[in-house]
Amino acid sequence: MTDNDLSMMPRPVSDSQSEMAQIVLPNDANPLQALLGGRLMHWIDMAGALAAHRHSRHYVVTASIDHLDFLFPVRVGDLVILRSSVNRVFRTSMEVGVKVWVENYLEDSSHHVSSAYLTFVAVDREGRRLPIPAVIPETDEQKRRYEDAGRRRENRRSEMDRRRRPRLH
């Protein structure tokens, strides 16, 4: 078996699932001490890239981030946990899901803050796109995400086609 065959062997979702933790510091917040949305978007991008890089074992670039809702306010001093996993691989791109939680150990509470789907593309040092090994969903939850990711890709593609179509004025 060649090195290329080995590097394209399918890998289970669990192999690249990642977790990132951030304490919210004053520099991450607005004057009301609430976490800046843009800072959270940056952390989501980084957490997503972690799983994408681990799965593909290549450099990755962010091609798109789907719609984002901020469901729960996060304050200075809070602990933010971001969990990411590869939902599905297409050819040179893959969808990664990131779920964000805020944990407060003093109050023993945890709240869902945000969820996002990102598409990463694997590239070499010159920016050329590279094929990515398939991902194997094992649990029922991973299988559901795999199926849903296929539907979301179709939606993204039709939306991209719509945007690219020339407009008649």
Q: Which residues bind ligand COA (CB under 6 A)?
A: 61-64, 90-93, 119, 121, 129, 156, 160
Report in angstroms how near the CB of residue 54 gets to ligand COA at its nearest: 18
Report in angstroms how near the CB of residue 3 gets to ligand COA at its nearest: 22
Q: Which is nearer to ligand COA, 61 or 81 (CB)?
A: 61
Q: Which is nearer to ligand COA, 36 or 41 (CB)?
A: 41
Report in angstroms how near the CB of residue 28 gets to ligand COA at its nearest: 20
Counting other chains too, the contacts that 98-101 makes at CB distance below 8 Å and 24 or more residues apart are 98/44, 98/47, 98/48, 100/40, 100/43, 100/44
Tell how strand 11-12 and strand 135-136 pair up: parallel
- H-run or E-run covering 15: helix 13-16
Q: Which is nearer to ligand COA, 74 or 122 (CB)?
A: 122
Q: For residues 39 and 27, give the distance between their C-alpha atoms in angstroms, rounded to a whole number.
A: 10
